[in-house]
Amino acid sequence: MTERRVTGSHRRGEDEAGVRESIAGARRVVVKVGSSSISSATSGMDTMRLAGLVKALADAHDAGRDVVLVSSGAISAGMSPLGLARRPRDLAHQQAAAAVGQGLLMERYTELFAARGLLAGQLLLTVDDMTRQASYRNASRTLGTLLRMGAVPIVNENDTVATHEIRFGDNDRLAALVAQVVRADALILLSDVSALYTSHPDEPDSERIGFVADVDSLTVDTHRAGSAGIGSGGMTTKVQAVQIAAGSGIPVLLTSAQEAERALAGATGTVFAPVDHMRPRRLMWLAYASQSRGRLTLDEGAVHALTVRKASLLAAGVTGVSGDFLAGDPVELAGPDGVVVARGIVNFSSGDLPAMLGHSSTELASAMGAEYEREVVHRDMLVLMQHGD
C-alpha cells in the first residue's frame, strides 16, 4: 500500500520529521482513546487493552511529561452489565449505561494507575462547561491544579446529564478543546485504525497518509462509520478535532490504541502540522467550544466589513435575527446566502435587536438612547470562520 503526504501552508520548517520530533518532545500531552479501543459490546471493558494504555501513559509521566487522558467508554462499559448488545440509540438508555459504566471505568483506571504509584482524577464535562466562560475557566483551573500536583486527569463527557441538543456526542472535539485549555504541546488521538487513509482502509484503492501539512487542504472520504455498536465518532470527528488543535498551534498524531507507546514517541500513525497563523487563544473558546444561541443575517456590505476590513458589526448591516439570546451570548453571523462567516459575542438581546436593524449608530442614539450607539458585535469579540470550520 502506498503512502501519501498532504502538503500546504504550515509553520515554516515544520516538515514531517519536525512535527514528529515536536510530539516526541512534548512536555504536556493530551491523549484521547475511543470506546472501541478499550471495550467491546459483548464483554465490556477490555482489561488488557486498558493496562497497555495505562502503562504507556505512566511511562510518559515517569519520564517527566504531563499527561491528560480523554477517555470514552462509559456507555460501552455499562452496556454489558445492563444486558445491552449494542450501543443504545435513545438518550435515556445511553444515560443509564453511562451512569453504570462511568464508575466501573474510573475504578479500573484508578486501580491501574495506582499500581504505578499514580493518582487519577476524574473530570466530567458538558458542552455547557466549555461554553460558559466561568465554567471554562474553572475547568482550566482544575486541570492545571491536578497536573501541578502530579495527578493524571481523566476527562470524559458527562453523558448522564447531556442532551441530544447540547452534547459533544463524541470525545474527539472535546479532546482538542481540552488540549487547548491546558496549553498542550501535542494531541494524540488513539482509535481502532493505524493512520488516516484517503478512504476507508478496506477500500482497495485506499492510501495511507503519513503527513498532513495543512488540514484545511485535506480531501479524504470519511463517510463510512467506525466500529459498529460501540463508538459514537468516526474519522470525520477526528479530522474536525485536528482542525481545532492545529488552529491552536498544537501538532496532532492519529493512530491505533495498540500503538500508544510509539505514538508518544511520534514514531507511528499520521501526523498533522499546526497551522501557520494561530488564532488568538482567547477566541478559540468562541470559535469551537461555544454553543451559539442564535443567528444574525448580514447584508453583503456587512460581510465585506467583517471579512475584509476586519471591522465591527453595526446594526445597519444586520437584516435578520433568529434565536433567543441575551447580551453576552455567542451568536452566528451569516451572509445573505446563509453561510456562517463568523461567530461573535453579541451586545444586545434578541428582543432588542429587531427594532435596531438597518439603523445607523447615530440614529439609534437619537431614537433609543446613547447605550444603543455601540457595536452589535465588537471586532475584538468575533472570530472569522475559515474553510473547514
Q: Quick: pLDDT tens for 334-388.
A: 999 999 999 999 999 999 999 999 888 888 888 888 888 889 999 988 888 864 4
55 labeled part of a ligand binding site: no
The pLDDT of residue 53:
97
Q: Is 119 helix (H, G, I), strand (E, B) or coil?
A: coil
Lowest mean pLDDT among 119-133, 137-151, 262-276, 330-344: 119-133
**Binding residue per annotation — 158?**
no
The confidence score (pLDDT) of residue 389 equals 46
As to burial, measured by CB atoms within 10 angstroms (0-12 exposed, 13-18 middle, 19+ buried), residue 340 is middle
140 labeled binding residue: no
Q: Is 270 annotated as a binding residue?
A: no
pLDDT at 224: 55
Q: Does 381 appear as a known binding residue?
A: no
pLDDT over 80 at 84, yes or no: yes
Q: Is there a contact between 50 and 155 (Cβ–Cβ < 8 Å)?
A: no
Task: Kindly tell me if the per-residue pLDDT of 166 is higher than 70.
Answer: no
Q: Is 205 annotated as a binding residue?
A: no
- 239 closest CA partner among 212, 257, 265: 212
CATH superfamily label, 292-384: PUA domain (2.30.130.10)
Average pLDDT of 280-300? 79
pLDDT (average), residues 275-297: 75
Residue with the larger pLDDT of the pair 311 and 161: 311
Question: 171 versus 130: which is more confidently predicted?
Answer: 171
For CATH 2.30.130.10, the residue range(s) in the chain are 292-384
**CATH class of the domain whose range is 3-284:** alpha beta
Distance in angstroms (rounded) separating the CA atoms of residues 60 and 13: 26
Output the pLDDT for position 220: 78
72 labelled ligand-binding? yes
235 is in an annotated binding site: yes
188-244 pLDDT per residue, tens:
999 988 999 988 787 888 889 999 998 877 877 666 555 444 444 578 888 888 988
Amino acid of residue 258: Q
- Locate CATH 3.40.1160.10 in the chain: 3-284
Q: pLDDT tens-digit profile of 239-263?
A: 888 988 988 899 999 999 999 999 9
0.75 exceeded by the pTM?
yes
What pLDDT score does 240 carry?
A: 83
Q: Would the annotation count 39 as a binding residue?
A: no
Q: Is the confidence at residue 114, as pLDDT, over 80?
A: yes
- Say how many CA atoms lie within 13 Å of 229 toward its Cβ: 11
Top-confidence residue, 279 or 309: 309
pLDDT computed for residue 257 by the predictor: 94
DSSP state of 161: T
Q: What is the full DSSP assignment across 72-113?
A: --HHHHHHTTTT-SS--SSHHHHHHHHHHHHHHHHHHHHHHH
Confidence label for 7 from pLDDT (cuts 50, 70 and 90): low
Structure confidence by residue, pLDDT tens digits, 47-63: 899 999 999 999 999 99
Binding residue per annotation — 358?
Answer: no
Name which residue leads in pLDDT, 111 or 9.
111
Q: Which of 41-45, 84-88, 332-336 has the highest mean pLDDT?
A: 332-336
